Amino acid sequence: MTGQGYYCPQCATALERRDVEGTEREVCPACGFIAYRNPLPVAAAVVLNARREVLLVKRRNEPHAGMWCLPIGFAEMRETIADAALRELHEETGVVGRVVRLLDADSFISDHYGDLLIVTFEIEKIGGSEQAGDDAEAVGYYALDRLPALAFPANEKAIEACRQIHADEWAIGDSFKELQKEQPHPLLSDALITLIRDRAPEVAHLWIAEVQGSPTTRAYARLGAADLAEEAASVLSQFARWWSGADVRDEVREFFRRRAADRRAGGVELHEFLSALMLLRKTIWTFARDQGVWERPIDVYRVLELDRRLVLFFDRALFHAARGCAQGGEG
């Protein structure tokens, strides 16, 4: 059976369809030439702005005229697929870019063009200004969670791959910015504080062992285990409620001023009380650290962020403890 109007480029004989190694192909019956039909290479670009929005173009021409898509187009002869993505980006949007990474390669069968191989890169904008090119009606940035219907499924896949790549980085950045606020919420380390609250008896047990074994808390170590457990429970509760948004400032002030004065009256000097508090801070952080899996940078950041929150809480606790000893527990 001859092909559909195809002729051998070597001898001009009409091609026939034959089985070649399990695949039907056009073959020249005269000279044996095999016509291999390969997917057309297409390059696409994902460009994000500082607001984490993606640059899209509204298609002027078919297929899918009037729909939105990534800057996209066919690779030309003698250019790399990455260079094709940069060229199409500039032609369609006016943006000059730099390739950051390969995001995705996906196959797509188009009624208009046949088999396509769409290769998508994340590209950083380094110049130019956003303006619609000849093939686009409009260009615009869209939030990743509010995208319009896209012309090509491969575009959706590539954008999601880009979002996943940046997810941890963005979560760390958001949490760090939130930490600077007076009452931050939510933070990545919230889960660790919940863990500490829920497993407070375990943390208290570890702290008591630290106190009893430290040369800086010998007098403190002579206190009863039940007394120490009650103290640890109070501090852990205040710490957890402080960072959950509850206003416990007065409670913290009164507790540490009164407790430091009472401990001193019972024969525990201020330096031992402060050392015991620092041992509790260390125990909390070590306990939380030991629960981690440590597979990703976000896991490391979560524990480091907790340490920052411990510093802020215990700095206030130490201040009130010192004032309590100086003033005999009075405000």
Q: What is the pLDDT of residues 179-199, one digit of tens each?
A: 988 778 899 999 999 999 999
* Strand (E) or helix (H) holding 192: helix 190-198
Q: Give the CATH number of domain 40-165.
A: 3.90.79.10
Q: What is the pTM of this model?
A: 0.81
**b vs e for 37-72, b when ≥16 Cβ sit within 10 Å of the residue's Cβ?**
eeeeebbbbbbbeeeebbbbbbbeeeeeeeebbbbb
For 44-73, the pLDDT digits (tens) are 999 999 999 999 999 998 889 999 999 999
Amino acid at 3: G
For 264-298, the pLDDT digits (tens) are 999 999 999 999 999 999 999 999 999 876 788 99
Residue 5 — very low, low, confident or very high, per pLDDT cuts 50/70/90? low
Q: What would the mean pLDDT of 161-179 be, rounded to a whole number?
A: 96
Strand locations in the chain, DSSP E? 2-7, 14-20, 23-27, 34-35, 40-46, 53-59, 68-69, 72-74, 95-110, 114-128, 136-143
- The total number of residues shown for the chain amounts to 331
Domain topology for 190-327: Globin-like (1.10.490)
The dihedral built from the CA positions of residue 225, 226, 231 and 232, taken in this order, carries a sign that is positive
Residue 83 — very low, low, confident or very high, per pLDDT cuts 50/70/90? very high
| Domain extents in the chain | 2-35, 40-165, 190-327
Residue 327 — very low, low, confident or very high, per pLDDT cuts 50/70/90? confident
For 90-121, the pLDDT digits (tens) are 999 999 999 999 999 999 887 777 789 999 99
- Please tell me which residue, 135 or 55, carries the higher pLDDT value: 55
How do 114-128 and 40-46 pair as beta strands?
parallel
Residue 23 — very low, low, confident or very high, per pLDDT cuts 50/70/90? confident
Q: Does domain 2-35 have CATH number 2.20.70?
A: yes
Residue 146, CA distances (Å) to 52, 92, 141, 143, 283 in order:
12, 22, 10, 5, 44
Contact yes or no for 123/45 (Cβ under 8 A)? yes
Q: How far apart are CA 33 and CA 41, in angstroms?
A: 23
